[in-house]
Structure 1
Amino acid sequence: MPSLTLAEARARADLLTVSAMEVDLDLDQGAEHFGSVTRIHLSAATDGETFLDIDPVTLHAIRLDGRDLDTGMLADKRYPLDLVAGEHVIEVEATMAYSHDGEGLHRATDPADGNDYVYGHTFLDAAPSVFACVDQPDLKAPYRVTVTAPSDWVVIGNGAAEGGEGAVWRLRETKPLATYFVTVCAGPYAQVRDEHDGISLGLYGRASLRAELEAHAPEMLEVTKASFDYFHSIFGVRYPFDDYDQVFAPEFNAGAMENPGCVVLRDSYLFRGAVSRSERLTRANTISHEMAHMWFGDLVTLRWWDDLWLNESFAEYMAHRCLVAATDFTDAWVDSTMARKSWGYAAERSPSTHPVAGSSAPDARSALANFDGISYAKGAAVIRQLIEYLGDEAFLAGIRDFLTRHSFGNASLADFLAAMERAAGTDLDSWSTAWLETAGVDALSVERESATLTRAVPEDHPADRPHQLDVATYSGGRETSRTALTLSEDTATLHGIDLDAPLVLPNAGDLTWATSLLDERSLGALLTELPSLEDEQARAVIWVGLRDQLALGLVDPRLLVDLGERALPGERNDSILASAGMHLTGKVIRNYLPEDEQAAARSRMADLGERILAEASAADPGGSRELHAARLVARTTTDVEGRLRPWAKGEDLPPSLVGDDDFRWIVLGQLARQGALRAEEIEQARRADRTMTGNLGALTATAAIPTADAKAAAWADLTTNRERSNYELVAIAAGFWGPEDRDLVRPYIERYFTDIPAMAGHLGDSALGRVASMAYPSRFATPETLELSRACLARDDLDMAVRRAVVDAQAELEQVVASRARYGA
């Protein structure tokens, strides 16, 4: 299917206006296919040729103004139309296929009870696999949707369900929507309903997760209500759509999707077992993020995909701002530093880096290549810089102007900047060029001798970015001085700063987007200063800065392992403890350390986990630190008989983890990697946990078994089994590369670069990209792997989603190879 080009979209927008969409879906035709009837009401400005988008199994009929057209004209998922000027009605009858890769109308079976569930994800170019349409973001229209479903199903969509008879659900007509926001969710969902400020609220989850839904509903509804109140107070526009439903759907590709009135979220947010505060914060952030999209993205929609940042950067920023101002998650910006900005900085280091805004997207699919941590985390940081530049009052006035002026329509970066300029009375051309339209991240460092703060601009992406930031100093864990300044040149003199302090930290409050480089004296002081440092935001900036310096080859990975041992036992911020621990075990030790040092380092992490576990179990049983410590032990220990087997049997566990099947699968996965669990035992455990999570845990554990036969079977399952869902493929890839005996999987390094690209024919872009990233042989950081990877990228037939995954993974592999060359001895 050719991806819609910008030129084609502009031509259609000039010719067509879509005034109404009527969609009838029949979901009661079995597990493979569904019926789709669409009536498109549109007008043509002049006589002209154009096309509809439709991706059917069978196109039964297409009629233009009541006249039958030749169904054989459909080609490459496009149906050509020759229209005369004036009003038209196009009716399309088709049979469509459910997907299993998370795109279009995805259908999944819950092994817990055999129930089926459907969700619609029409993002980017998936809508034509659900209904016929003119599929581009700037041709919005109201939708009237009718759904026929099995009699025991619930149907949720963008419009609230109105009366109906039997299994026919009629959804209230929506406000104008872009095609990629249209969704239908259906199945025997459990539900919790509430109301707030005149808005009907609904939470939905699988029937087998009813207990979890009801247990977590009070907190999720509290965050939902607080977010509504906060956004109403600052946006000046009330929530503009229908009921506000949140559907926790199985096998959802993304974290969530902001469909107006019917947000779809991954159902792993309905935590089955013990849950940490950082996980609850992440869920709260996702809830608030998707709600912010009701204004940014849904009410005002991008005109074309190259302004996708307008959705994500603002929702990212607004969610964190909301959590700090209106909920108990007042440390949300610390979590942003650890979990979000580190993601964005990694994207900036990759050859695939791009500007926040203004990246050329000549067609719809190419836009997906720029949908990453830069769109989210860097964009949010840039918004914070804009507020520092303009002032919060002018910023909010500009937002209100922008939302009011473009309500239920489309807008672009130029429209947004114009609103900001009107509000602030200042020109933003140079600011936009530097921050929004130029890629790259500046490096900030302090020179003690000259008392200067230095800005190093990346050579490949030169820009004059002004930074509003602070610099702080610390001694004995306490702040000794702090100054706020604007860095508008390459150097600035620091005043009122204690440069004799052991630790000097640029961007201590994490107000700007930059790599904070520590001087040699500060690096040398970390082992004593970081464990006692009182400022949790500064601790987060240090940990993330060390990740950057590690990737840049500026620090020895052993320092991070030493810091983990020293600082994490006393770490009380949940996000820092969880994120730093995962980075140490999953990146630093697994990849950066020389191979002959990795086992000893993992043993040190297991001992660290045991120390924190013992202290937390005594001081705060059932708390987050206890949970993170137990997970750290389960991921790293090799004590099969003394620790792993008893935990797998439910023995000697902290009370909060007794009966926690999710934790048990972590333990079983480690037992499998150690060669201490047979496939038959894994299958027995799966039968005891007949859930989607149990199935995924079993797939990961089975793929981890360190035998040649198990690896061959897992690789074949991953690369050739077309019945596997998106989640199942990722689960298999997650367990594959782990055995101590690297020779077991070494032959699959070369096979990755042929077998994974071949999966492009049957997986959608989002699922394929996730599988290609997870399955990349990053554990084998050698020049030979790099040579194979580079040869793969030299192919001219490589799918775009695979290419982006390989580019990013290879960039990290190159960093690891360089680090090992420098620090390997």
Structure 2
Amino acid sequence: MRSLTLAEARERAELIAVTSYAVELDLDRGDQVFGSVSSITFTCGSPGADSWVDVKARSVEGATLNGVRLDPAGIRDGRLPLPGLAADNHLVVRSTMGYSHDGQGLHRATDPADRRDYVYGHLFLDAAPTVYACFDQPDLKAPYDVTVRAPQDWVVLGNGAASQVAPGRWELATTKPLATYFVTVCAGPYVSVLAEHDGIPLGLHARASLREPLERHAGQLFEVTRQSFDYFHGLFGIRYPFGEYHQVFVPEFNAGAMENPGCVTLRDQYLFRGAATRDELLSRANTVSHEMSHMWFGDLVTMRWWDDLWLNESFAEYMSHRCLVDATEYSDAWVDSSIVRKVWGYGAERSPSTHPVAGVAALDAQSALQNFDGISYAKGAAVLRQLISFVGDDAFLDGVRAYLRDTSHGNGTLADFLGAIERASGRDLGPWSDGWLLTAGRDSVSVELVTGPSGGSAGDPLTGESAAPAVVTSARLLRVPPADHPADRPHALDVAGWRDGVEVVRVTVTVTDDRTPLGDLLGATAPAVLVPNAGDLTWARVRLDDATLDGLPAQLGRVPDAQARAVVWSALIDGVHGAEVSPSTFLDVFAATWTTEANASILARMALYAEHRIVPHFVPRVAQAAALARLADSARELLGRAEEGTTRSLAAARLLAGTSDDETLLRAWAGGSGLPHGLEDDGDFRWIVVRNLAARGLIGASAVDAYRAKDDTLQGGLNALMCRAALPAPAAKAWAWEQLTGRHGRSNYEMVHLARGLWMSPDDALVAGYVDRFFRDVPAMSGWVGEDALSRVVLAAFPKIFTAETGVRSSAALRREDLTPGVRRSLVDADAELREALASRAAFATDFRTPVS
């Protein structure tokens, strides 16, 4: 299907202005299709000119322009021609649309817990025409009147306040001007918890089978919602402009959430069915605050074209973390950002697909989607922190308020935003923008340190007292721009060091040269652990010196600064991916320090990273069992001493459940016996155990189905698919592949879970035959799977056999000319991860000649 180009969007925006939309949706036509009627009023600045409206329907039953019938047979590539426009126009399009199962458009899902259906609209990025006829580009905003016909036992929610005017008929209040991709309708037998804050009606909604976790979590969700409203009202000086505020937890959602004005949609996994770690609650709170900040930045003011999409996401990413730190209990949100969001962003920056934060030419809508990644979010947020360091927080906020005020209910650009900051600060942002926004890549930062004797005692051989530690005699910070993306980026950052748990050095500097003397460190006690960018204030590749790497097993657990520990772990991850740090070193540090880690985000995320990335990707196959055993030993140790029911206990139990080879323990836990406190009725935890049993071949398909019968829910079904695909038998792998790549109407989530399970295998030979089939079969799925969903499937299904032969096939696939943009981008990123694994295994092969013990 043809994608709207920037040139076409500009031409259409110069020609027409949309006055209003009236959309009627009939959701009571069964589970395959729905009715859609769009009535659009718009003006034309050049009467007599031609244009088109976007509509991607199963069928168009009728269309009229100013009372004159249009021929639906003229639709090409989802475009209905509009000939001979008048100065004032009224267009009506009646069509039948199809529900989707890939998370785009109007998605319909059946909850196996009660066999009831749920519908929600996710119209990002260009899916709006699959729901209603529209001028689908972000700068043609207009108010909406929406009416919905639905089964009589359904609840309807949307951007405007919904009222049931007759059995099965709902009317939504007229909205403020919205971009087409923000329009949503959520309908089904949703259950609700309602509240109010500061005159704003609030609602939380979920599937009926999730009533218990919805009600259990409602207090926390409303609390962060209220705190975020108060914070943003004070910060922006503009009240929330979209009436009611509903948050709908929907099934099979492709992203974390979507900022539809007045009706935010969120993945319903955020309603944790069982126990949740503190970092999971923090992540959910961050999502709530992130989407709310979009009500101002993105919704009230929308980018003019997709090339400024980064500005929406970078701003929301920054503001949500700022809000959590300043206004909620999650004062360690920046630590979580360091170990979750920035690790994601650094991965995107390492890939050949890296791109500047801004200024990327999005020549059409689909190409813009390819740059919707960790750079747009995490790097953009880090860049905004550097901007604040450059201009000052007061000037930054003054500029933000002016930008929001001057472009309210309209569209803005990067130039508009930077202009507002320049006027508020009096600073020229041109050179700063060139380095930070318009050039890809990240600088490396390291500290060159020279130490010498302190002049103290050399040590007493009779008493055993050690000599006084050395002192710093010379220190300078090195900044190395990437060779392929050179730029002059100033960095405001700090450098700190510790010895035996005591901070012995810290200095804050603004780096404007490639070599910056750190005179304030001279004479200080030489640190055992020295961390550039210890406060994680900038965006850079942190390179730790050899002495620090050697000292981490003994010293990292004693560093009291959680933010610095997060930076160290991030640097270790970067080093492993860059084949500069051995995965053996990572595992050594993990074994020595993980059980003492106090920060929930570091504790939980490093366990996940060690189990699901470091071991399977970077540790050679012959040493993986021993590496997993080391992780299990750490988990067992922590579980034995952690307080029951805490994040530490839960993180330890999850790691042990996923890595242990203790069949007796696993079978007991799977059967509900001897479980750690708080996990007695936790179905999600049981699936971790069942997955481990299945992947080891200790249970078969019938046992998986029996566990599925105990958890007859959407999540239970997904876990069962992954476990069946993980069974180490040729028939199980063949079944999984056929279910993944065949036309079975599988949802986006089902395909991803099948792909994950398929590559779980005790040896490469069992799945080697699917390497070639991946490059043949998965790209071909673009014929029936949406681009957003398929890009995620490609990443999950990319062969997890890390050999040169896989690399050869991957390179050949990337030379193909028939790949869609989303598939190509995902292949590029997956191929880059393969190359990292191959380089690391080659560089550190000798570390694993004897399996890790």
Task: Pick the aligned partner of 1:583 from 590, 596, 609.
Answer: 609
1:473 is paired with a residue whose SS is: strand
Residues in 2 aligned to 1:453 and 1:731: alpha-carbon distance in whole angstroms: 45
| Displacement of 1:722 | 3.2
Match of 1:764 in 2: 786
Aligned 1:593-632 pairs, distance under 5 A: 593-616=619-642, 620-632=643-655
Residues in 2 aligned to 1:215 and 1:346: alpha-carbon distance in whole angstroms: 36
**Structure 2 residue identity aligned to 1:615:** R
Is 2:823 aligned against 1:799?
no
Residues in 1 aligned to 2:579 and 2:702: alpha-carbon distance in whole angstroms: 44
Contact 2:43 2:86 in 1 (8 A): yes
Match of 1:16 in 2: 16
Residues in 2 aligned to 1:424 and 1:83: alpha-carbon distance in whole angstroms: 49
Task: Pick the aligned partner of 1:811 from 832, 836, 839.
Answer: 832
Residues in 2 aligned to 1:698 and 1:594: alpha-carbon distance in whole angstroms: 28
Task: Pick the aligned partner of 1:737 from 751, 759, 773.
Answer: 759
Residues in 1 aligned to 2:449 and 2:699: alpha-carbon distance in whole angstroms: 56
Residues in 2 aligned to 1:72 and 1:516: alpha-carbon distance in whole angstroms: 59
Residues in 2 aligned to 1:603 and 1:133: alpha-carbon distance in whole angstroms: 57
| Displacement of 1:721 | 3.3
Task: Pick the aligned partner of 1:524 from 550, 565, 572.
Answer: 550
Task: Pick the aligned partner of 2:598 from 572, 575, 595.
Answer: 572
| Displacement of 1:593 | 1.3
| Displacement of 1:333 | 0.3
Match of 1:268 in 2: 269
Residues in 2 aligned to 1:294 and 1:409: alpha-carbon distance in whole angstroms: 13
Residues in 2 aligned to 1:667 and 1:688: alpha-carbon distance in whole angstroms: 14
Match of 1:559 in 2: 585
| Displacement of 1:766 | 1.3
Is 2:49 aligned against 1:48?
yes
1:276-329 CA-to-partner distances (Å, cap 9, x unmatched) read: 101000000000000000000000000000000111000000000000000001
Contact 1:473 1:499 in 2 (8 A): no
Residues in 1 aligned to 2:735 and 2:621: alpha-carbon distance in whole angstroms: 26
Match of 1:436 in 2: 437
RMSD: 0.8
Aligned 1:385-534 pairs, distance under 5 A: 385-449=386-450, 450-497=474-521, 498=524, 500-534=526-560
**Structure 2 residue identity aligned to 1:140:** K
Match of 1:25 in 2: 25
Any stretches of 5+ residues in structure 2 without a counterpart? 451-473, 847-853
Residues in 2 aligned to 1:713 and 1:594: alpha-carbon distance in whole angstroms: 28
Match of 1:682 in 2: 704
Match of 1:643 in 2: 665
Residues in 2 aligned to 1:388 and 1:645: alpha-carbon distance in whole angstroms: 55
Match of 2:120 in 1: 119
Residues in 1 aligned to 2:374 and 2:85: alpha-carbon distance in whole angstroms: 45
**Structure 2 residue identity aligned to 1:767:** A
| Displacement of 1:84 | 3.2
| Displacement of 1:138 | 0.3
1:227-246 CA-to-partner distances (Å, cap 9, x unmatched) read: 00000011011101120000
Any stretches of 5+ residues in structure 1 without a counterpart? none
| Displacement of 1:162 | 2.9
Residues in 1 aligned to 2:135 and 2:160: alpha-carbon distance in whole angstroms: 20
Task: Pick the aligned partner of 2:571 from 523, 533, 545.
Answer: 545
**Structure 1 residue identity aligned to 2:726:** A
**Structure 2 residue identity aligned to 1:628:** A
Aligned 1:87-236 pairs, distance under 5 A: 87-236=88-237
1:748-780 CA-to-partner distances (Å, cap 9, x unmatched) read: 111111111011111111110111001111x32
| Displacement of 1:85 | 3.9
Residues in 2 aligned to 1:696 and 1:501: alpha-carbon distance in whole angstroms: 49
**Structure 1 residue identity aligned to 2:103:** G
Residues in 1 aligned to 2:286 and 2:372: alpha-carbon distance in whole angstroms: 19
Contact 1:230 1:326 in 2 (8 A): yes
2:384 is paired with a residue whose SS is: helix
1:641-699 CA-to-partner distances (Å, cap 9, x unmatched) read: x2110000000101200011111111111110010111111111112211001100100
Residues in 1 aligned to 2:652 and 2:190: alpha-carbon distance in whole angstroms: 35
1:431-483 CA-to-partner distances (Å, cap 9, x unmatched) read: 11110111001000100134110000001111000000000011002211111
Contact 1:673 1:704 in 2 (8 A): yes
**Structure 1 residue identity aligned to 2:526:** D
Residues in 1 aligned to 2:559 and 2:150: alpha-carbon distance in whole angstroms: 58
| Displacement of 1:499 | 6.4
Match of 1:711 in 2: 733
Residues in 2 aligned to 1:499 and 1:746: alpha-carbon distance in whole angstroms: 55
Match of 2:244 in 1: 243
1:680 to 1:163, Cα distance in 2 relative to 1, 3 A: closer
1:561-603 CA-to-partner distances (Å, cap 9, x unmatched) read: 0111101010010100111111111111111112211110101
Contact 2:504 2:525 in 1 (8 A): no
**Structure 2 residue identity aligned to 1:737:** W
1:500 is paired with a residue whose SS is: coil
Match of 2:7 in 1: 7
Contact 1:483 1:495 in 2 (8 A): no
1:679-732 CA-to-partner distances (Å, cap 9, x unmatched) read: 111111112211001100100100000000110010000011331001111111
In terms of mean alpha carbon deviation, does 525-534 or 504-513 score higher? 525-534
1:484 is paired with a residue whose SS is: strand
Match of 1:673 in 2: 695
Match of 2:811 in 1: 790
Contact 2:529 2:556 in 1 (8 A): no
Percent of aligned pairs sharing the same letter: 55
Residues in 2 aligned to 1:698 and 1:780: alpha-carbon distance in whole angstroms: 23
| Displacement of 1:171 | 0.1
Contact 2:39 2:90 in 1 (8 A): yes
Residues in 2 aligned to 1:638 and 1:725: alpha-carbon distance in whole angstroms: 32
Residues in 1 aligned to 2:111 and 2:259: alpha-carbon distance in whole angstroms: 24
Contact 1:445 1:516 in 2 (8 A): yes
2:355 is paired with a residue whose SS is: coil
Is 2:652 aligned against 1:652?
no
| Displacement of 1:163 | 4.6
**Structure 2 residue identity aligned to 1:622:** G
Deviating beyond 2 angstroms after TM superposition, the runs of 4 or more aligned structure 1 residues are: none
Match of 2:777 in 1: 755
Count of matched residue pairs: 820
